[in-house]
Structure 1
């Protein structure tokens, strides 16, 4: 268990490449699983906002965290997040900016993560989508 008493332990073995912006593994113990649906940069009216991937990532992450908060969780409770990006090369090129957005909204406790290239997302204007799950104590 983490020092805060939460049921997630982030594991980053020294024999693997340094975990920058993610955790290699997350061990979870808790009483409640929260599965988070894919979130894009949709505003309250259902319209995609933001011109670039950084702006859209910020809104999509904020939407994911809002759904998590409504279920009683915090960013620290995230065990897994998957990022679906239309342009993985653009995502990689803006990794530092995206990392700053993550730090500001979710802190420095990283879940296990993956970035997957997608041909397109449900909303044609969406450049990025995030889904995941959390374990609440």
Structure 2
């Protein structure tokens, strides 16, 4: 069996350096690169964890849609968090953002505390895996 890989980099996310925003393989498995609150000019936007989570999740879903998927296709999501106490203090607001952008079909999820992310200003990074029909 020949495996076919498709690298998807939608222009709405800015030009990536050293990674693809999404990779689809034969069978339509979609591996989504970790997304932070980067705008189209690769600048971190958002003053707090809720705003940054919203932008990071929006970026992840943009990459997923570019690969032909929808939020309900997400199988697994990992959230990397710089300040776990701050994230937990805003959990209700973050949950409301998730429901508004991704709905109420939840994938397997993990939240992992980290000392920092690639971009020093980033407070949160969202990474995912989807299977697209």
Unmatched 5+ stretches in structure 1 = 1-29
Q: Give, in whole Å, the separation in 2 of the partners of 1:42 and 1:31.
A: 29
Q: Which residue of 1 aligns with 2:30?
A: 34
Q: Give, in whole Å, the separation in 2 of the partners of 1:110 and 1:94.
A: 19
Once the two structures are superposed, what CA deviation does each residue of 1:34-93 show, in whole Å capped at 9, x if it has no partner? 000000000000000001000000000000000000000000000000000000111111
Q: Give, in whole Å, the separation in 2 of the partners of 1:88 and 1:119.
A: 10
SS of aligned partner of 1:64: helix
Q: Which residue of 2 aligns with 1:90?
A: 86
**Number of residue pairs aligned between Structure 1 and Structure 2:** 108
SS of aligned partner of 1:99: helix
1:50 aligns with 2:85: no
Once the two structures are superposed, what CA deviation does each residue of 1:19-46 show, in whole Å capped at 9, x if it has no partner? xxxxxxxxxxx93100000000000000
Aligned-residue CA RMSD in angstroms?
A: 1.1
Q: Give, in whole Å, the separation in 2 of the partners of 1:83 and 1:130.
A: 5
Moved over 4 A (4+): none
More RCO (CA 8 Å, sep 6+): 1
TM-score, normalised via structure 2 length: 0.80
Q: Give, in whole Å, the separation in 1 of the partners of 2:67 and 2:28.
A: 10
1:62 aligns with 2:58: yes
TM-score, normalised via structure 1 length: 0.77
Q: Give, in whole Å, the separation in 1 of the partners of 2:47 and 2:81.
A: 14
